[in-house]
Structure 1
Amino acid sequence: MDLLDISQTTSDNETTSVKRICVIGAGAGGLAALKAIVEAPQHKAGEWKVTAFEARNEVGGIWLPAPPTDDPPLTPLYDSLTTNLPHPVMAFTCFPFPPSTAMYPSASVVEKYLTSYAEHFGLMEHIQLNTAVTNVARNSTNTGWTVTLSTGDDSNYDLVIVANGHYRVPRYPNTPGLDLWLNAHKAKHSAWYRHPLDLGAKVLVVGDGPSARDISAEMSTSPTTKTLVRSVPNAPNTEIANIKTRGRITSYCADLSKVIFEDGSTEEGVDFVILATGYELSFPFLSPEILKPGLAPPIPPLPRDTYNSTYNVFPLAKHIFPLQSRYPPSSLAFICLLMRVVPFPLMEAQARVIVHAFANPDAIDDTEEAVDIITHHEDLRREIGDIDADATSQKISKLWHVCRGDKQFSYRDELHRFAERDGLGMVVVPDWIKEAYEKKEVLRELWVDLVSKGEADDWVRGVGEKGEHEWVDVLRRMIQYAENREKRLAGKEENNIVGDIAKL
């Protein structure tokens, strides 16, 4: 039976054909999903009704600040955080940041941007704040979902979108000895970090993601930090100013001051460890009957259930819809599980796909999706190489939702191609976004330099008042400026070498 043709019973026992949609979370992903639904012809015709439930008192998700008092904190947002992508690249395609916005805006600017997005598109009336979803289960007739709220209320929904984010539950390495350090309060996850503190003369930061790099740079300038040690897997041993870089930690010693690295070297006198080691995928409102914990069994064939390894949700059609046998895949959707992507426009594309699949459940070809999943699995297995089966499964789960290179852009194009049938037309990721993403590190390094020199505001003043093309022009000028600067520096270095040789 087609799920979208199943009638729901209202509280006053009247039967209606209106399909009820639940969105869990009102961060960027939830807002993108909500906008796509509100603008769908089915919603405008009164055939769909949608409610987004947000546990916090405002929208914004991870970008909404909160003190590090909860366990785990409501957000890992630290005080100095700015975006690690230029905002013209990371913005929703339908809603640019305001003119003159700093190229790498602060978290407070992004929070205001998301609030403005919700207000501009009339989304707030569909959001219930201060209300968490505590349980989602198939109803007694297996025709829809029973959603339990923190208020104690239960409601029936035809369709559910999971948009609770994946930066809440800290991931801890299983390194020997770490638990001892954690229990002794000699180590803590970066989820609790907000600003530099007096953590001792020698601080060790574990990890190599954006937060690890930001926290390392910030802690290294703290007046109490004499030495900042970074642990980066497979990194060579280096020492620049007061920052040391070492490889992966293989053991935390019982004396609570020494660690051992993968090359056998040690670091003694460590006063404190900050673990910038990422986060687990966590969906506490989904029971094991809906989402089984742990790694999926070896494939092929695909399992009949959906699994959460904490690194990936598997198997999902298009990284969105659970491809299993318990309920129609198009009745439940996960938004933005992918990593190393430009999130906001990807959420837009996934939201279009979700709306199209909700309206047309048969559009998801189970066989075709299964083939795509198995192909992706085999590609990763070949890439990993010859290791034992358990290690292979674990490694594949870690890489499953990671987009490398330009894969995210071809994926976005594929999503828009699928959703093109919704009548809104095909959308293609423009070349300038790919170019800016490829140069993201160069651009950010240049921007930091411009900020330090007090020149950053001059680059963006008034930009965007006449349209997106002004931001594109600035990004391309910044890339050219950075490349010319590198050439000048390289030329000076070469001249210095020639001069040194001449002196000989």
Structure 2
Amino acid sequence: MDFLPTLEASWNQKTQQHICIIGSGPSGLAALKIIRDSQQFKGGLWTATAFEARDKVGGIWLPAPPTSNPPSTPLYDSLTTNLPHPVMAYTSFPFPAGTTLFPPASTVLKYFEDYAAHFELNEHIRLNTPVLSITRDHTAGKWTVSVRAPKTSAEETHDFDYVIVANGHYRLPRLPATPGLGEWVEAKRAVHSVYCRNPSTFGDAKTVLVVGGGPSGQDLVTDLLASGRNIVHSVTGAAPENLHDGRLKVRGRIAQYGDLDKGLVTFEDGSEESGIDKAVLATGYKFDFPFFPTSVLRPSIPPPVPPLPGALYNSTYHIFPLARHVFPLVGADEFPSSTVAFLGIPIRVAPLPLLEAQMRAVLHVFEHPESLDPTQEAIDIISRYETLRARVAQQRASSSPTQFPDGVDGPISGPSEDPVELAIAAAWHRFEEHEQFQYRDAMHAFAEYPHRVPAWEIEMYDAKGILREEWRDLERLGQAEEWVRGVGAGEGEKVAEEWVDLMRKLLRRAEERHPERSRL
């Protein structure tokens, strides 16, 4: 009974510490919520301020026209989630009862707005306030954060003890280094998908080349087919195939963009396609942190390891070296590793519950910096590097396509870059199979937080493709709304149970419709 008063009394003898959060998208909101839940915040030991460049919360889920360069979001009109919302939601805040299982972007944006309002996060967010620079004041032992004030456009500076980088990584487009592509881009015959909102982007083009096999590339193909266009879809490793009465031609990786007048491209297998009016490149995004000077974050591929470099690098494919994909593992003369955290860097994950786990680990390190063991973290990073290097070597020896993040179809590098190091960089934050769930459990164990990923989340994540296919069929039949009516209206654990029951019912439907295949 005496613990809290004693703890609070000890806090009052300490200096209040200030946490800066960059962005109020999914990562920034998770950071604020977990901070507000902490005893340190409740006891007045911590304060938190999130700086948001845009006029509302929501990050990439907040729509905007593609007028800026680059656009502030890649959000296209037809986007729906590619995960069922019970799997992707924050564990502390389910989607409303009756929400369609794979909701559109507008529903997801409302979810984030409701999350911010429910947990009283908005009072800690400064909207229309972009971060201009973040530098280390070694004398004061602080981070100096410069922002642009919303009303006066004047530059303000503030000192913080900790910085949480939560600005996302789906804005700065990545273009392949494929020969001839530059001429197509210059002639406005090729454009990155970040500028696409709907098929009207392509004007009167009759044949469109879609490059990239990730979710946005697949959605572009679906939208363009529905608009009556012919599609050539370039996907690394794909076997040539003609579908939809020849309107969709699936082809492999592009080797060269050729004659513009002929609309000609050549593929790595030597085959060609001509008559292409436009090309859209769903080829991924670069990690971009323009507010960090090179003294904090070096813009290049890091040197091979071991040993680990003593500084932090942004290869645009990965941030290295990050302990636990979050904490910069740098030399003591750079800055304390326990004062900076990068949220939401891993890809191919259910992001929101992973963000919660990361943020609990972040606060644990903020409170207990000694818990971050640099020797063990370095061993773990080198071990991952050696594992990925062996995997890349095996792929190259077998002539199988090098694995890059979703949507990135190579070659993705310039001639001066080491393809092995680039492949390692591109795979670094990419979680395979159930690695994300093991990671979440490990982060919670590290944070001494009593939570483990429930088995149903893993089951439904594995079944996400089948669930989405069945859900789309229900939507075509006009039955989807009836299926979710009243689901999730219970309380406590009943909410998740109702959604799990619905998803298992949907999987049984898939088995009945397709008895010839396994559901997973």
Partner of 1:71: 69
Which of 56, 79, 83 in structure 2 is aligned with 1:58?
56
Which of 499, 502, 506 in structure 2 is aligned with 1:478?
506
TM superposition shift of 1:391: 2.0
Q: Distance in 1 between matches of 2:459 and 2:90?
A: 18
Which of 279, 290, 293 in structure 2 is aligned with 1:284?
290
1:360 partnered with 2:365? no
1:148 partnered with 2:146? yes
Partner of 1:7: none
Number of residues paired by the alignment?
A: 470
Percent of aligned pairs with the same amino acid: 49
Q: Distance in 2 between matches of 1:486 and 1:479?
A: 10
Partner of 1:443: 467
TM superposition shift of 1:142: 5.5
Q: Distance in 2 between matches of 1:390 and 1:167?
A: 24
Partner of 2:420: 392
Partner of 2:391: 383
What code does the residue aligned with 1:107 have?
Answer: A
What code does the residue aligned with 1:143 have?
Answer: G
Q: Distance in 2 between matches of 1:448 and 1:142?
A: 57
What code does the residue aligned with 1:357 have?
Answer: V
Give the secondary-structure state (helix, strand or coil) at the position aligned to 2:418. Answer: helix
Which of 222, 234, 258 in structure 2 is aligned with 1:253?
258
Q: Deviations over 1:443-487 (max 9, x none)?
A: 101111110110111111100011221001111111121122111
Q: Distance in 1 between matches of 2:226 and 2:32?
A: 42
Partner of 1:192: 195
8 A Cα contact 1:131 1:149, kept in partner: yes
TM superposition shift of 1:365: 0.6
Q: Distance in 2 between matches of 1:468 and 1:407?
A: 23
What code does the residue aligned with 1:410 have?
Answer: Q
8 A Cα contact 1:142 1:327, kept in partner: no
8 A Cα contact 2:192 2:280, kept in partner: yes
What code does the residue aligned with 1:430 have?
Answer: P
Which of 454, 475, 485 in structure 2 is aligned with 1:430?
454
Q: Distance in 2 between matches of 1:221 and 1:106?
A: 18
Q: Distance in 1 between matches of 2:296 and 2:464?
A: 39
Q: Distance in 1 between matches of 2:343 and 2:142?
A: 19
Q: Deviations over 1:139-171 (max 9, x none)?
A: 151611000002200110000000000000001
Q: Distance in 1 between matches of 2:517 and 2:15?
A: 68
1:339 partnered with 2:347? yes
Which of 281, 294, 304 in structure 2 is aligned with 1:298?
304
Gaps of 5+ in 2: 1-12, 150-154, 398-416
Q: Distance in 2 between matches of 1:349 and 1:488?
A: 39
What code does the residue aligned with 1:368 have?
Answer: Q
Q: Distance in 2 between matches of 1:483 and 1:281?
A: 41
Partner of 1:312: 318
TM superposition shift of 1:392: 1.6
Which of 172, 176, 184 in structure 1 is aligned with 2:179?
176
TM superposition shift of 1:107: 0.3
Q: Deviations over 1:275-319 (max 9, x none)?
A: 011100000001111110111101111000010110100000100
What code does the residue aligned with 1:408 have?
Answer: Q
Q: Distance in 2 between matches of 1:199 and 1:335?
A: 41
**Where does 1:156-175 land on structure 2 (aligned, <5 Å)?**
156-175=159-178
Give the secondary-structure state (helix, strand or coil) at the position aligned to 1:443. Answer: helix
Partner of 2:240: 237
Gaps of 5+ in 1: 1-14, 491-504
Q: Distance in 1 between matches of 2:309 and 2:138?
A: 24
What code does the residue aligned with 2:17 have?
Answer: K
What code does the residue aligned with 1:91 have?
Answer: A
Q: Distance in 2 between matches of 1:247 and 1:98?
A: 42
Which of 269, 272, 275 in structure 1 is aligned with 2:278?
272
Partner of 2:207: 202
What code does the residue aligned with 1:412 have?
Answer: R
What code does the residue aligned with 2:166 have?
Answer: A
TM superposition shift of 1:384: 1.2
Partner of 2:20: 22
Which of 325, 328, 351 in structure 2 is aligned with 1:322?
328
TM superposition shift of 1:255: 2.8
Give the secondary-structure state (helix, strand or coil) at the position aligned to 2:70. Answer: coil
Q: Distance in 2 between matches of 1:157 and 1:245?
A: 51
* Superposition TM-score, scaled by structure 2 size: 0.89
TM superposition shift of 1:390: 2.3
What code does the residue aligned with 1:334 have?
Answer: F
1:453 partnered with 2:473? no
Partner of 1:494: none
1:219 partnered with 2:224? yes
1:402 partnered with 2:420? no
* Superposition TM-score, scaled by structure 1 size: 0.91
Which of 489, 498, 501 in structure 2 is aligned with 1:465?
489
Partner of 1:497: none
8 A Cα contact 1:237 1:247, kept in partner: yes
8 A Cα contact 2:14 2:45, kept in partner: no
Give the secondary-structure state (helix, strand or coil) at the position aligned to 1:457. Answer: helix
Deviates further, 254-263 or 91-100: 254-263
